[in-house]
Amino acid sequence: MKRISLKIAGAAAALTVGTAGTAFAADAIAGAVQQQATNWTAIVMFLLFVAGTLGITYWAASKTKTAKDFYSAGGGITGFQNGLAIAGDYMSAASFLGISALVYTSGFDGLIYSIGFLVGWPIILFLVAEQLRNLGKYTFADVASYRLQQTPIRLLAASGSLVVVALYLIAQMVGAGKLIQLLFGLEYVYAVVMVGILMILYVTFGGMLATTWVQIIKAVLLLSGASFMAIMVLVQYNFNFGALFQAAVDMHPKHLAIMQPGTLVSDPISAISLGIALMFGTAGLPHILMRFFTVADAKEARKSVFYATGFIGYFYILTFIIGFGAIVLLMNNPEFFRPGPDGTVNPLTNMLGGNNMAAIHLAKAVGGDLFLGFISAVAFATILAVVSGLTLAGASAVSHDLYASVFRRGRVNEQQEIRVSKMATVALGVLAIVLGIAFEQQNIAFMVGLAFAIAASANFPIIVLSMFWSKLTTRGALIGGFMGLISATVMVILGPTVWESVLAHPKGSAPFPYDNPAIFSVTLAFLGSWFFSIIDKSENARAEERAFEAQYIRSQTGIGAEGASAH
């Protein structure tokens, strides 16, 4: 059996970042872990997934002819399908492995995180979902620039999108490489290159239709696998939750402390700031926003959020049970641990492959090698599906916003635009591979947190203000949006995560004391947009205000909105 010792402290990030907790990400996997032996069951199952999804891509390619097909699957996805796809985008490998690992180490704290991720969805539905659908075409820049000047607003929106996509993509690629190394016993570089090539194939040939179906299939596989694990755990306790929790409290080194809030959320500013970043960041993620344009109308858009909220909520309940299952079924089983230098086993620090492997080890404990292979393959498929959606969102920002609207000023035909989009996909895929390799040894724990903070600070305020506030002007949106983008970035760099953990300054020396800047940067973006709009007395500003009414009527009634294309 080939075992290579690897340092993957940096990789912790990638697996846990989806949970955005920088403090938590830092201690999830630390120190040296060992690459697993080549896992053939997992490889075979993964190859089946790849073959199936490539088949779907082939089918989707034959249906993807127009720009509308490419960017938004022709608007023909149903609310239920889109709900699954949105849930799929959200249930990354990071949240599956990261949250179950958090429950394993800290119990109740995992639930606090899950809830933060979930509660953004109802708000999106109540306030913006149908307006997004009614105003948008392919990207959220269509919404923001509806009555404002195309060139500057699309530049702002494309910057916001590309920065968010790049950060998210790097985190996912590094996570993919590390995870595959651990699960399949494959070299890091091969894994990253393989993910890059597959995602280029899905997106360039199958566009949004293939990307959506890959996401749906993965969501179904992940939900089925996680349900099976949760049921197998509960069966051992005759579905008596009291007995499961009792056994976990008895076995866990922290005992009763796992049943209440721990140290994860300590000061109120951090707690509220994290809540804002998660809630409004969700409503500003370009790959999530794009999904609202794949359904036929506002009715289906609403249904998508309803189903997505249900699936995501259910998934978080499962990860909670899985985390507790890992406590009761793994902690007294030496098979899953490697003794420390002093020969003793600390179940919180000595898990094989790090604590993020809790759900993976539990798969083996409840379902043997076959099920372990299945869950490993699903974890890989999850990353593949998420990076495909991200790449499509990035490519759309390049081709639809930058190329067609800014560079060519709208004088472009569909085929040219699609060609640019495919070129952008290939370029982004290659870039993702290069960055994935470049960042292998870097601490990237802050990246998804930063992506959420930027989405909340740059994209979300502009979307909301352009929809609901008639006095927003191009100048106000531009200055406010860039203030949000720049302040979020600067505060993250000056904050403890990057300043102390990445740049290695002494602890406590960070100029900005909080890990999450959202409470400040989102406020700045709103204030900046407001201030620079009300002092804008130009002719343009007056015209933009006059154009609000027609936009408002379309956003409310859907009259004139993009419909589904006939197939």
| Alpha-helix residue ranges (DSSP H) falling in 107-187 | 108-118, 120-127, 129-135, 140-144, 150-184
Task: Name the strand (E) or helix (H) holding 5.
Answer: strand 5-7
DSSP labels, 103-122: HHHHTHHHHHHHHHHHTHHH
Q: From CA 292, how far away is CA 143, in angstroms rounded?
A: 12
Smallest gap from residue 472 Cβ to another protein (A): 18
* Structure tokens given for 317: 């309940």
**Shortest gap between Cβ of 122 and another protein (angstroms)?**
5
Least spacing, CB of residue 128 vs another protein, in Å: 9
Q: Which residue of 4, 44, 556, 563 would you call a contact of another protein, by CB under 8 A?
A: 556
- The residue with tokens 């201690």 is 27
Would you say 13 or 327 has its CB closer to another protein?
A: 327
Length of the chain: 567
Residue 454 in contact with residue 163, Cβ under 8 Å?
yes
231 burial (CB, 10 Å; 0-12 / 13-18 / 19+) is middle
Figure out which of the listed residues 37, 44, 115, 503 binds another protein, where binding follows CB under 8 A: 115
338 binds another protein (CB under 8 A): no
Pick from 62, 241, 332, 346 the residue near another protein by CB under 8 A: 241
Nearer to another protein, 205 or 237 (CB): 237
Residue 239 binds another protein (CB under 8 A):
no
Cα distances from 80 to residues 84, 103, 300, in angstroms, run: 6, 30, 8
Give the one residue of 59, 80, 108, 531 binding another protein; rule: CB under 8 A: 108
Distance in Å, CB of 112 to another protein, minimum: 6
If one asks whether residue 501 binds another protein (CB under 8 A), the answer comes out as: no
The answer to the question of residue 249 lying near another protein (CB under 8 A) is yes
Task: Name which of 31, 303, 81 is nearest 209 in CA terms.
Answer: 81
Query: Mask of contacts with another protein, 303-332, x by CB under 8 A?
Result: x-xx--xx--x--xx---------------
The H helix count followed by the E strand count for the chain is 25, 2
What is the size of the binding site for another protein (CB under 8 A)?
Answer: 51
Cα–Cα dist 470/543, whole Å: 11
Alpha-carbon distances, residue 383 vs 30, 88, 270, 284, 417 (angstroms): 22, 10, 29, 20, 28
Shortest CB 299 distance to another protein, Å = 5
Q: Does 112 bind another protein (CB under 8 A)?
A: yes
Tell which positions 178-217 bind another protein, by CB under 8 A. Answer: none
Q: Which is nearer to another protein, 58 or 241 (CB)?
A: 241
Helical residues (DSSP H) of 457-534, grouped into ranges: 460-468, 474-494, 496, 518-534
Residue from 4, 48, 55, 126 touching another protein (CB under 8 A): that is 126
| Interface residue with another protein, options 434, 538, 550, 563 (CB under 8 A) | 550
Indicate the DSSP class of residue 413. Answer: -
Which part of the chain contacts another protein (CB under 8 A), choosing from 1-9, 126-134, 329-337, 484-492?
126-134
* Nearer to another protein among residue 51 and residue 269 (C-beta): 269
Taking the mean position of all CA atoms in its chain, how far away is CA 242?
Answer: 33
- Does residue 260 touch another protein according to CB under 8 A? yes
Tell which positions 261-300 bind another protein, by CB under 8 A. 261, 265-268, 271-272, 275, 279, 298-299
DSSP 147: S
Q: Give the Cα separation of 328 and 322 in Å (integer).
A: 10
DSSP state letter for 7: E
Q: Is 302 in the site for another protein (CB under 8 A)?
A: yes
- Judged by CB under 8 A, does residue 245 bind another protein? yes
* Three-class HEC string of 513-557: CCCCCHHHHHHHHHHHHHHHHHCCCCHHHHHHHHCHHHHHHHHHH
* Residue 131: CB minimum distance to another protein, A: 10
Contact flags string 48-87 toward another protein, x per CB under 8 A: ----------------------------------------
> What is the identity of the amino acid at 508?
G
Query: Which residues of this chain interact with another protein, rule CB under 8 A?
Result: 108, 111-112, 114-116, 118-119, 121-123, 125-127, 130, 241-242, 245-246, 249, 256, 259-261, 265-268, 271-272, 275, 279, 298-299, 302-303, 305-306, 309-310, 313, 316-317, 549-550, 553, 556-560
